[in-house]
Structure 1
Amino acid sequence: MSRFKTVPAGLLAGSLCLFSSAYSLGNETTHRQHGAHVHGTATLNIAQEGQRLDLIFESPAANLLGFEHAPENKQQKEALAEAVTQLKQGATLFTPNPEAECTLKSADLDSSLIHHNEHAEEHDDHDEEHDEHVAGGHHEEHGHHEEHGHDEAHESHSEMLATYQFHCASPEKLKTISVNLFKSFSGTEKITGQLITAQQQRALELDAHGPIITFK
């Protein structure tokens, strides 16, 4: 008897679609629905069909940054920028066995912290322009400064979401994916999730001592 559970094509296609668009309405809202937010633990969902390999990694920001609020100083801003840079290196963080000839095609990140940091930089630029405007004798009241409360940036739970799509020239040779996140982000102690292929659907549980996903 085969130890793999065959996944119906419709379910697999639906899973790929779900993995690609599940967070299009915002990862913060999704997590309020999902509930659990455990520091040290992240989730990884993987779907593979034909030459396409999709991965969705989601983690509390604390695992990756050491904090979950909006960056408040230069050091924290640099930590966020470094984490973003590392998370975009999907082929380094997730390494399929070379025989499968998998190439990273896209890497997308989403987090309220990233959006807030970009907004804060734009706000700082606006303040500089406003100061120049005032210095020139053209001061106007701008009540919106008081209205720009950033309470959402100081939420107790902030997530970071990374989605990756690989193209595998030889998918029949895809046997393993090495997850190197534990080396890059020491705050990540455990990763759980699901693996879905045409041959199987099963739960994943990884840690620094067992970071390799086996397909067959």
Structure 2
Amino acid sequence: MKRFVRLECLAGLGLGLLMLLGNPAAAAGVHQHGLADAAVVVEGHSLTVSFRAPLMDILGTEQPPVDAAARVRYADRLKQVSEPQLPAAAGCRLSHETRSGVAALFPESQQHDHEHEHHEHDHHADVEAEWTFQCQSPDKLTTVSLPFLAIFSSLTTEVVLLLPDGQGALRLTPGDTRISLE
């Protein structure tokens, strides 16, 4: 179930959340397992969708991969955070995409010698993705679907909307993939 709330002063808050989505260091203080953040921004013919979730909720672990096979498993899991689906009538095409990868999340130069490691520690990081689309008919953008939320069905997702008609926020309950823009 979704809850849509119109907020009168969300512009500053929305921009702050967008900055947090793009800044892992600033976001570190709000890292909460089970809770993801998303933002949908429509400006002119451009649509940007940002997403951030705790690493644990995407990989099922926060531990660095122990070998090459684990790095491949992690990469396959991260690839499941896939491109949003948009209404065909809007005529949108993907123009830019960035997604967290294993190399960025777990640089090999920072891997520990596990034979000599006597304590465990968590890797409190977030998985981040951002997609920018150019749309021929942005007025026909009625929904944005994040199909991967069905895979990561334990996530509650807080969504900030910055749209031509105003700003808002909504909450997607676990397993809900559809963001209404109307």
**Shift in Å at residue 18 of structure 1?**
7.9
Structure with bigger gyration radius: 1
Provide closer, same or farther for how the CA distance between residues 205 and 108 of structure 1 changes in structure 2, counting only shifts above 3 A. same
* Aligned pair partner of 1:171 in 117, 138, 149: 138
The within-5 A match list for 1:53-202 is 53-87=47-81, 89-90=82-83, 94-110=84-100, 114-115=103-104, 117=106, 119-120=107-108, 154-186=121-153, 188-202=154-168
Report the CA distance between 1:182 and its aligned residue. 2.1
Tell me the equivalent position of 1:49.
43
Q: Which has the higher strand share?
A: 2
Unmatched runs of 5 consecutive residues or more in structure 1? 125-144
Distance across 1 between alignment mates of 2:130 and 2:41:
12
- Normalized against structure 1, the TM-score is what? 0.65
Structure 1 residue identity aligned to 2:173: D
Task: Name the amino acid aligned to 1:83.
Answer: R
d(CA) in 2 for partners of 1:123, 1:66: 20
Percent sequence identity over aligned pairs: 24
Q: Please say if residues 6 and 198 of structure 1, whose CA atoms lie closer than 8 Å, have aligned partners that are also in contact.
A: no
Q: What TM-score do you get using the length of structure 2 for normalisation?
A: 0.76
Moved over 4 A (4+): 3-7, 21-24
User: What is the identity, as a one-letter code, of the residue corresponding to 1:101?
Assistant: G
- Looking at structure 2, the residues matched to 38 and 123 of structure 1 have their Cα atoms a distance apart, in angstroms, of 24
Say if 1:104 and 1:194 are closer, same or farther in 2 by CA, change over 3 A. Answer: same
Amino acid at match of 2:77: A
Equivalent residue number for residue 27 of structure 2: 31
Q: Is the 8 A contact 1:39 1:60 kept in 2?
A: yes
Q: State the shift of 1:38 in Å.
A: 2.1
Change (3 A) 1:51 1:6: farther
C-alpha separation between the residues in 1 aligned to 2:149 and 2:105? 26
Structure 2: segments with no counterpart, 5+ residues: none
Deviation at 1:109, TM superposition (A): 2.1
Q: 2:170 aligns with which of 204, 208, 212?
A: 204
Greater per-residue helix proportion: 1
User: Take 1:116 and 1:96, find their aligned partners in 2: how far apart are those partners?
Assistant: 28
Matches within 5 A, 1:13-28: 15=15, 19=18, 26-27=23-24
- Give me the CA root mean square deviation: 3.5
Q: How far apart, CA to CA, are the structure 2 residues paired with 1:41 and 1:171?
A: 29
SS of residue paired to 1:115: helix
Q: 1:193 to 1:116 in 2, by over 3 A?
A: closer
In the TM superposition, what is the alpha-carbon distance from 1:197 to its structure 2 partner?
0.7
